[in-house]
Amino acid sequence: MSKIKNRTGVFRRSLFLLKTVIFFLIVFHADRRGFTQQEAWVSRDAYVSSGIGDARVLIPFFADDTTSSSICGLVYNGLTKVDKDLNIVGDLADRWETGGGGLSITFYLRRDVRWHDGMPFTAEDVRFTFETILDPGTGCPYISSYADIADIEIIDPYTIRFYYSRPYAPALLKFGMGIIPAHLFRDIEDIRMSLYARAPVGTGPYRFSRWESGRYIVLEADPGYFEHVPGIKRYVYRIIPDQAVQFLELVSGGIDSMELNPYQFFYRSDTPRFKTNISKYRYLARSYTYIGYNLKDPLFREKKARQALAYAINRKEIIDAVLLGLGEPCTGPFLKGTPYYDEDAPGYDYDPGRAAELLREAGWADTDADGILERGGEEFRVRIATNQGSQVREEVAAIVQNQWAALGIKAEIQVIAWSAFLDQFVNKKNFQAVILGWTIPVDPDVYSVWHTDSMKEGGLNFISYSNKRVDRLIERGRRELDPGTRAAIYRRIHRCIAGDTPYTFLFFPYATPAVQKRFKGIEPAPAGIGYNFIDWNVPENEVRYKF
């Protein structure tokens, strides 16, 4: 048995929018490799997805943005994963056993898995991955999810046991983290800056092919994937920062899928051409949109001011005018309808009178009758930042700007390119207020976003929220194994956070993906439509791209 090592000494730390024909000449007529085919599964055609932002890093435990996470999900596997109904099932692990009252987990690994470079996958890769995550010098933003691992023991090349210092309820789900190859990374000093951060080698259904920054990422189906060869031979992710351009590409066939905005969902898609070629779906997304306040900024240190801003926002108007009804009001960080969501938590229903009262109590008044509140010679001015490429967020910002103006609060809207928004504003805490969204994980553990320890550099608590009571409840929720008791803890967390108002929680949006109809095997489920992507296929007579 080897104790967890400190590896700090080793691990330190648009022109792209070309004409569609040129793009496909580049992407779809490059050098080819031969592919074997397994049983009845045939790998053919290409699937071209799109998004507003580029990936940042293709190492799974550094991937903290949507694009990087999505690409990593196709290139790497974890020990576990969730099925279409969000149940935990095996991935690289065939099965597992828990012992000692939740203080140990033994994983029995698949023996038929190889890395994309042909080397066998073994327990050594698993141990290396989690030792690397646990090394403080790595700078992994998800380290808190594994901090209670006290020891890792390799029983044999395909059996590995994790020992915990105390019970950790979400443990099995957290083992969905992608595993990296020890034989490639062992002698690399800075994993995040390594070659493999841009040219990854995994065990997943798709192999990395190429990445042209700001334009596209290309993956190829792994013909030897242990489940079966994916039905789609090539996966292409195109960076298209403008949703209007994405829609034109979708209708013309330049891309195969996108997330429709509400106007596109109801109106732009209501044409014979769209209905003939494209399917659209609708379901409540596991995500929420919010306004986050920088609690280090003097304007937002006082709870009354934050509560006033919340009361001044008419969520119904936002849902009706911006989402065209494709959303539900949100009051906290858990999914509505789950046992963790507290229906009685403070909701801050639209009440401009109460908002004005709270501002007066906080000492704000329009003393010079210029329409802007002042206190101590300082005007109440707020910069609301959001990312370029989201029409919904920009429209939300405009409505909030008008609603706050009615109270005497002057808001300036900043729309910033996605990469710069994350690097220069969010990660550096260089903002006053941001409009963003979070995906809601299957497990309710919110340590990485709401615990005081996650305020550290690289953590996801970039608004600097700190409440000792919430910290204690989060820690209790991680240890509690009884589902009913655990759910009650998270409802208390919901009430506490809602009462503190570090965010103005706005809405749960409906997911509205659209996909070209030639793709078969799509099965909408609680996990979304992409959980079974390797099972998607295209009938031979409908193939668009032939290799």
Is residue 530, in this structure, part of any structural domain at all? Answer: yes
Whether residue 12 has pLDDT greater than 80: no
As a whole number of angstroms, the distance between CA 537 and CA 516 comes to 12
Render the burial of 407-431: b for 16+ CB within 10 Å, e for the rest: bbbbbebbbbbbbebbeebbeeeeb
Q: Are residues 212 and 322 in the same domain?
A: no
What pLDDT sits at residue 29? 41
Query: What's the pLDDT band for 55 if we cut at 50, 70, 90?
Result: very high
Whether residue 18 has pLDDT greater than 70: no
- What residue numbers bound the domain in which 299 lies? 287-510
Is residue 86, in this structure, part of any structural domain at all? Answer: no
Q: Where are the alpha helices (DSSP H) in 153-295?
A: 171-174, 182-185, 243-252, 262-263, 272-277
pLDDT per residue as tens digits for the range 279-304: 999 999 999 999 999 999 999 999 99
Q: Are residues 460 and 488 in the same domain?
A: yes
Whether residue 23 has pLDDT greater than 70: no
Integer angstrom CA distances of residue 214 from 39, 51, 52, 256, 454: 38, 11, 10, 19, 30
What pLDDT sits at residue 43? 84
Q: Are residues 350 and 241 in the same domain?
A: no
Phi and psi, residue 95, nearest 5°: -160, 175
Is residue 182, in this structure, part of any structural domain at all? Answer: no
Backbone φ/ψ region at 253: left (φ over 0), alpha (ψ -120 to 50), beta:
left
Whether residue 10 has pLDDT greater than 50: no
Greatest CA separation for the chain: 79
Whether residue 34 has pLDDT greater than 80: no
- The pLDDT of 54-69, averaged and rounded, is 94
- The pLDDT of 327-333, averaged and rounded, is 98
Query: What's the pLDDT band for 41 if we cut at 50, 70, 90?
Result: low
Is residue 347, in this structure, part of any structural domain at all? Answer: yes
Whether residue 182 has pLDDT greater than 70: yes
Integer angstrom CA distances of residue 252 from 220, 245, 274: 24, 11, 9
Is residue 403, in this structure, part of any structural domain at all? Answer: yes
What pLDDT sits at residue 207? 99
What pLDDT sits at residue 456? 85
Contact predicate 532/523, CB 8 Å: yes
Q: Residue 528 gets which letter from DSSP?
A: B
CATH of the domain at 244: 3.40.190.10
Q: What residues contact 40, with CB distance under 8 A and at least 6 apart?
A: none
What pLDDT sits at residue 38? 41
Q: Are residues 258 and 398 in the same domain?
A: no
On average, the pLDDT of the chain sits at 92
Q: Are residues 295 and 341 in the same domain?
A: yes
As a whole number of angstroms, the distance between CA 410 and CA 38 comes to 62
- Provide the whole-model pTM: 0.83
Whether residue 497 has pLDDT greater than 70: yes
Is residue 399, in this structure, part of any structural domain at all? Answer: yes
What total number of domains does the chain contain?
2
What pLDDT sits at residue 8? 41
Tokens of 83: 């099925």
Q: Are residues 537 and 414 in the same domain?
A: no
pLDDT per residue as tens digits for the range 431-471: 999 999 999 999 999 999 999 999 987 689 999 999 999 99
Q: Are residues 295 and 406 in the same domain?
A: yes
As a whole number of angstroms, the distance between CA 210 and CA 220 comes to 9
